[in-house]
Amino acid sequence: MTMTERDEPLTPAGRLFVQPGMDQIINCAVSVDDPIDVEAVKLEISNSILVKHPRFSSIMLKDSCGRERWRKTEVNVDDHIIIRHQPLTDDPLISDEDAINDYLADLSVSTPLSLTKPLWEFHLLLAHNLAVLRLHHALGDGISLMSMFMSCCRRADDPNQRPITQGVGTSSSSNNRNVWRLLKKLVMVIWYTVVYVTEFGLRSLWLKDKKTAISGGAGVELWPRKLATAKFKIDDMKTVKKAIDNATINDVLFGVISCGLSRYLDLRSPKALKEGLQMTGVAMINLRNNLDYRTFQS
């Protein structure tokens, strides 16, 4: 297929996310108290920034060189709304939460997004008062996608107003103006950057992670999934954050994930984990100074 002037190439990260062995799709479940009004949902989506944004109103195709590109198209909202009227299970022993978790786990391996339309869709589970927003990761990163999602929401006490979000504040104390302190901080940043990049390079070239209970294999993207949920109070996470200097909520969340992963490996490993066991992972970090839903209003 020949390239047209309106085609936009995917970003390097976007191309990575559409590779057959990767194909990352975000499944976001949103529960509501009241029954879902399907027509109201369609109307809100039709009038939202969602269908106006270039990424959300473009299909993905390949040019003559095999490179992925975005091509603008007309959005038919009905094509992106999947409605399920019946409950996910009739078994009284299976809770709603477990049934929804099984549904999301199955979506992650059995239901890819169609390339004949923009790479997003809503699943409305009417019997559970639940909506599942499915987005291909090639559309953007988590921060920008959540900001766009927030731009489509309204406050419960005032439907004409968007939700209030607090940005990350910065302080300008005398310590920050101390030249020597800033210089020391710069040197430490450079030093740790060199150390971590060197360590990563050496591990990539000559070492590999040991086999563990969470190690993948050939065709891992098609393996059955199991989804489990855990609830944490945001106030508890804020308490932990305040107890640690320069910590963020994300730092606390990473600590929770690391602890859970360690306990899972202890539980599933036939032998005790060796002290100092290292596993390689990838964590996406937001480097933007300021990004919230107001960025997408224009």
The predicted structure's pLDDT at residue 5: 56
Question: Is 85 a catalytic site residue?
Answer: no
Cα separations in angstroms, 100 against 96, 97, 104, 119? 6, 5, 6, 22
Residue of 80, 123, 136, 137 marked active site: 137
Q: What tokens appear for 239 in the block?
A: 């308490």
**pTM (2 d.p.):** 0.75
The predicted structure's pLDDT at residue 293: 46
The predicted structure's pLDDT at residue 239: 94
Residue 135: CB atoms within 10 A of its CB come to 23
- Give the CATH superfamily of 8-165: Chloramphenicol acetyltransferase-like domain (3.30.559.10)
Go through 208-225 and write b for each residue having 16 or more CB atoms within 10 A of its CB, e for each that does not. Answer: eeeeeeeeeeeeeeeeee
The predicted structure's pLDDT at residue 20: 79
What is the gyration radius of the CA atoms in the chain, in angstroms?
A: 23
For 269, half-sphere exposure in the C-beta direction (CA atoms, 13 angstrom radius) is 16
User: Which residues are bridge partners to 61 per DSSP?
Assistant: 69
What is the full per-residue pLDDT of the chain (298 aa) written as tens digits? 445 557 889 888 888 888 877 788 889 899 988 999 999 999 988 988 888 888 999 999 988 888 899 999 999 999 999 999 999 999 989 998 999 999 999 988 878 899 999 999 999 999 999 999 999 999 988 778 887 877 777 777 777 777 665 554 444 445 445 788 888 888 998 999 999 889 888 877 877 777 887 887 777 777 888 888 888 898 999 999 999 888 888 889 889 988 888 888 888 877 766 676 777 777 766 666 655 544 444 4
